[in-house]
Structure 1
Amino acid sequence: MSADDHSPKTPSQTAVTDAASLKKQLTKALPCNKHLHSAVQVQGYFGKAAQTIDLLQASAPSLPVEKILTLVDYAIKRLDKALRTIDDSGGYRFPIENTLKAMHIKCAGALPWEKSKLAKYLLDKMFGDDSDFYPEIPEDYAGALGSSGSDLFYLQLEKHWQSLPPYPVDGEWSEQYPYFRVQHVLAPYYKAKGEHDKLILMHHKTARTFADFERLCELCIELGELTQAEFWLNKLRRDDSDCDNSNPRILEIEVSLCVKQEQFNKALEGQWRLYCCEPTEYKMEVLLAIARRLEQYDAVRAKLQAYLEGMLSSPQNEGFTPKYSDALAGFYLYHERPEQALLVAQENRLTVSLLLKVARNNTQQPIAILPLFIRVAESVIGDKKKSSYKSAVKILEECAGFMHNLAHKAEYKKQLAVFRQTHKAKRNLMMYLDASSKIKALVA
């Protein structure tokens, strides 16, 4: 390897030309079974080890690349074993780990090996016990492998996948992990190559649970393999424990498939059922997008508004608020009708995040939104933590920024006084309020 490949030597990095000596120094620098837990101990351990890793890096130009590669592999193995009894939650190993990774990539690029040998070597490292300490394989070795080497690597990986026995459903994680490790690398390769059948078969090999087949069905839809998607969807229906076609996840997949098949009327019907079960903004957006494809946007929007207003006003749904009040306020905000969202917020309970969103969308009505900000602050201080008190004060400070004239300021001062009286026993909250220059300037 050329000297240009590495950092300049310092006086403490005198090159060593004896590989055996370097290996001994690495063994001494990365002792195992140390059982270190304090930050001071761990920092000291890796601080000393770094000196030897720097020496290894400085010695690289003076040794054959294959010997340096062997030493880097050895250092990674020692690092892996050492960390089994060291608590490095502070990340003191990272400078060493990053140096070894960089050296390994450079070594791989300088090896005088056939591409097939390099591919086999990297495949072995990918499945080694210390694989977490290597760069991403094969992505980070694209330069070393080249186009032909990458093809050989994936070919060998594909053969390895095909040689794996049936997926051990009840096996330990250590038995199942190799399957997912291969999938993680092969899946994007198959997708990029357009080899959809191989990609689907690969996921089928490890699919055992209901959730697995859900993902397999969604994958088929994503790839445009709609016949296969229909096949797996029918399996989901057969395996569904509810047996009444009410499973929301199955219904979501049916809607996605119908959209892909351009069966928009059926998709609209399914999405409406999903929205009625859980009236979220995302489900509303999907519903309206389907309606637009059918040129029924205005009709569906009106139907949504009527449905939400009816559900919110129905006495039998009182226990479900803020489910419907959130949905209706969100509906109005989505359609740029903030004043109506404000009316919903004034008359109903909303989740804190939506309550704040409504307030921020109605800043042209300072006195009307003041109670909303107070409600948000009341909710934030509920867990009685200092950080929550600080957050509540920030909310009140934000609200103060919207009070511009004397009437606004008088109302703010009045409602703040009630707030303070209610929470006067919370000394830390009172202290943070007293320390707020923005609030003091407004109520002075």
Structure 2
Amino acid sequence: MFSVEEIQSRAETNSLSRGEALYRQDKVSVMHQTDTTIKATVTGQHKYVVTLTATDQGIKNLCTCPAASYQDFCKHCVAVALTAIHGAATDQPAQKAKNNRKIVEEQQLREFLLNKSPEELTELLVGYITRIPEEWDKWQLNIKLANGDLPVSEIKKMITKALPSRTIHQWRKVGDYFSKAEAQFDYLFQLISTMKPQGQWSLILHALKRLNKVLERIDDSGGYRFVLEEQLIHKLTALFNQLNWNDEKKAQWLFQHLDQSDMNVFPNVPDDFSPSDSVLEIFREQCEHQLKELAVQRPVVSQSDRHFDYFWKLSRYGKPLIDKAIADNNWREHCRLLGLTASYSFDMLKACQICLDNNEPFDAEDWLLKAKKLCCSEREEEECRQYEVKVKFALDEDQAAWALAWQIFEQNPGFNAFRKLQKLEQQTGHIQEDLAEKAEAILLKACMPSNQENPEFISPLLSDDVLSLYLELNQLDKARAWAKQHKAYHNNLISLANLIVSQHPEESENLYYRVLTSIISQTNNTAYQDAIALLKKLELILQKHNSSMMPLQSLIQTLSQECKQKKNMITLLKKQFAQYFPG
């Protein structure tokens, strides 16, 4: 759940106070909320979209504001978190009192205006309208609407005016662009809602296409369009079932819009439109017919030419049918469709795995043969060989399966390959007493430098695999010696550090230091949070073993000296480990 304590610990002082102010000023508009998630917009000088998710590890937060890239918990996240905890600011006593005053003042304004003559009110209103161009345009449209003389072309012009073609890359200008667009669409949506469903549908679809068009020249990596995008998609999908179309026409429209590769922003077809069962049935028939036509045109696939456009269409038309087969638990139909839409051998191997899962090894063997014919790369051939081991084992050819698995390991040694050997050993019951020793020898040989230009180079992946093997076999002395001399990935270094922290605290501290300095060097708040989480993990492990806190204290003191220029990291260290910062 969301907690005030976590907000206070993660947000900087300024962000906390400013976020509280945004909350009190009722600047948060909730878009969606559950017990563990909340998505909202926060409107200050600009409008930003915030998404918070409560997890066992704490609050995961995303905000489209620039500060989110260097602050762990920005002021907008604070405002939304407070809304999730306390409810809308309008529910708070101070805000209620403020709202009550506003109601009184509004009533006074009404009484003041009621005492004016119609002529005086008209002059007041016209004076207000003429001073604001946007209001002038709205009222001109209101006049046409009242007279029944508002052509669709006028509204389309307003949509174009609300989403003008611009080339924009600077984030603040992008935010301004979509803030203005949202304000104009608030009125456009009111206008459009007065029309019949068919007219609404046409205009909302036009607006969605226009949004896609302007996004070709706007860098909206900050997601400022999300509010407008969600509004358009929600309205379009809600209108679909209100259209006075028969089932054939609805199915045809869905089918024609299944491939929207030219539009980045578009609802998911058909699911988002919630079509009736009868519409879906016709739609799937059209997909099946299209798949059969495409199958006749199937090109010969090569590594250099995968015919991506062709196979993209195959996957798009096949997906609704595959989804239906999965929902019906019809695995044979699922396999048939995978074969029809396959662009890589991996697709055939999916069918192979489905057959294995359903205890049909001979069918699995057939799909494996088809996969081999479709191979165009070494990676695909390697994956087929892995599946060949599975198929041979399913066909009770244990010796052949083991011989092939060992051959694969010798040719491409690695820790994952070793684990597969272990699993196969258990499955077949043929225990290899010297498996670990042989695997170690092959892995160490693979780690021997072979690059003449750089004779000391060892693949980091292979080096890490050796450490993984030693950890798996609980050979900690070998793991310690290897880690001192070779590079390895963070997870393995930390696993080793935790295993030896009681007997070898200095080595453990050095391993943590290697990982922490690597993480902190990324110089962003996410990395700083990861570093703090790692230090907290070490603290818990030391407490669990009733060990001295000296390794942790030493680490924190070293990091605080080395990170003096990283203000946010130092702030987090002092907040989370205040006991190690005297004064």
| Shorter-chain TM-score range | 0.7 to 0.9
1:253, distance to aligned residue in structure 2 (A): 2.0
Cα deviation for residue 326 of structure 1 reads: 4.7
Q: Which runs of 5 or more structure 2 residues have no equivalent in the other structure?
A: 1-134, 450-457
CA distance in 2, matches of 1:331, 1:171: 38
Change (3 A) 1:53 1:161: farther
Match of 1:96 among 222, 228, 231: 228
Given the superposition, is the C-alpha separation of residues 175 and 83 from structure 1 closer, same or farther in structure 2, using an over 3 Å criterion?
Answer: farther
1: distance between equivalents of 2:336 and 2:392?
24
Indicate the residue corresponding to 2:479 in structure 1. Answer: 345
Give the TM-score normalised by structure 1.
0.72
Structure 2 counterpart of 1:5: none
Q: Tell me which residue corresponds to 1:216.
A: 348
Distance 1:269 1:192, change over 3 A: farther
- Say if 2:391 is the partner of 1:257: yes
Q: Which residue of 1 aligns with 2:498?
A: 360
Corresponding residue to 1:163 among 293, 308, 333 = 293
1:294 and 2:425 aligned? no
Contact 1:345 1:355 (C-alpha < 8 Å) held by counterparts: no
8 Å CA contact retained: 2:335, 2:354: no
- Are 1:373 and 1:396, in contact at CA under 8 Å, matched by a contact in 2? no
Of 74, 82, 107, the residue aligned with 2:239 is 107
- Between 58-67 and 102-111, report the one with greater CA deviation: 58-67
Query: Which TM-score applies when normalising by structure 2?
Result: 0.57
Question: Alpha-carbon deviations, 1:103-127, whole Å to 9, x = none?
Answer: 1122111223221111111212223
Change in 2 beyond 3 A, CA 1:19/1:271: farther
1:76 is the counterpart of 2:204: no
Residues 1:260 and 1:63: Cα distance change in structure 2 (over 3 Å): farther
Please give the per-residue CA displacement for 1:121-151, whole angstroms capped at 9, x wherever unaligned. 1212223566543321111223xx2212111
Matched, 1:230 2:343: no
| SS class of match (1:90) | coil
Q: Which moved more, 1:77-86 or 1:178-187?
A: 178-187
Q: CA deviation at 1:411?
A: 7.8
User: Is the Cα contact below 8 Å between 1:220 and 1:228 reproduced in 2?
Assistant: yes
Aligned to 1:25: 155
Q: Is the 8 A contact 1:23 1:71 kept in 2?
A: no
Instruction: Encode CA deviations 1:397-438: one digit per residue, 9 max, x unaligned.
Output: 765666679995678889999x79xx9898659997899564
Change (3 A) 1:324 1:46: closer
Could you say if the C-alpha distance between residues 135 and 400 of structure 1 is closer, same or farther in structure 2, counting changes exceeding 3 Å?
A: closer
What one-letter code is carried by the residue in structure 1 that aligns with 2:497?
A
| Distance in 1, Cα, partners of 2:517 & 2:547 | 27
- Relative distance call for 1:51 and 1:215 in structure 2 (3 A) is same
Displacement of 1:86: 2.1
Find the counterpart in structure 1 of residue 282 from structure 2: 152
Structure 1 residues 127 and 241: alpha-carbon distance in aligned structure 2, compared to 1, 3 A threshold: closer
> Match for residue 437 of structure 2?
306
Listed as ranges, the gaps of 5+ residues in structure 1 are 1-11
In the alignment, is residue 203 of structure 1 matched against residue 338 of structure 2? no
Q: What is the aligned partner in structure 1 of residue 322 from structure 2?
A: 187
Quick check: which one's helix share is greater?
1
Q: Distance in 1 between matches of 2:269 and 2:480?
A: 57
How far apart, CA to CA, are the structure 2 residues paired with 1:377 and 1:160? 59
- What is the 5 A alignment of 1:372-391? 372-378=508-514, 381=517, 385=521, 387=523
Q: SS at the partner of 2:245?
A: coil
- Contact 2:168–2:219 under 8 Å retained in 1: yes
- The worse-fitting range, judged by mean Cα deviation, of 40-49 and 62-71 is 40-49
Deviation at 1:153, TM superposition (A): 0.7
CA distance in 1: counterparts of 2:291 and 2:188, whole angstroms: 36
Shift of 1:216: 1.8
- Counterpart residue type for residue 141 of structure 1: F
Cα displacement (A) at 1:386: 6.6
- Is the Cα–Cα contact under 8 Å of residues 281 and 327 in structure 1 kept in the other structure? yes
Equivalent residues, number: 411
Q: Is the CA contact (8 Å cut-off) linking 2:446 and 2:462 kept in structure 1?
A: no
Residue 401 of structure 2 is aligned to residue 267 of structure 1: yes
1:54 to 166, 180, 186: 186
Q: Deviation digits for residues 368-417 of structure 1, max 9, x if unmatched?
A: 14313313423653699373996778767765666679995678889999
| Structure 1 SS opposite 2:340 | helix
| Displacement after TM superposition at 1:284 (Å) | 3.8
Structure 2 matches for 1:303-342, cutoff 5 A?
A: 303-311=434-442, 318-319=448-449, 326-327=464-465, 329-331=467-469, 333-334=471-472, 337=474, 340=475, 342=476
Following TM superposition, by how much is the alpha carbon of 1:68 offset from its aligned partner in structure 2, in angstroms?
1.2
Q: Is the 8 A contact 2:375 2:381 kept in 1?
A: yes
* Distance across 2 between alignment mates of 1:149 and 1:93: 32
For 1:22 and 1:262, how far apart are their aligned partners in 2?
A: 70
Query: Alignment RMSD, CA only?
Result: 4.7
Within 5 Å, give how 1:6-17 maps onto structure 2.
Answer: none
Partner of 1:252, secondary structure, is helix
Deviation (angstroms), 1:52: 4.2
In the superposition, relative to structure 1, how do residues 42 and 311 fare at CA in structure 2: closer, same or farther (>3 Å)?
closer
Cα 1:84/1:174, change in 2 over 3 Å: farther
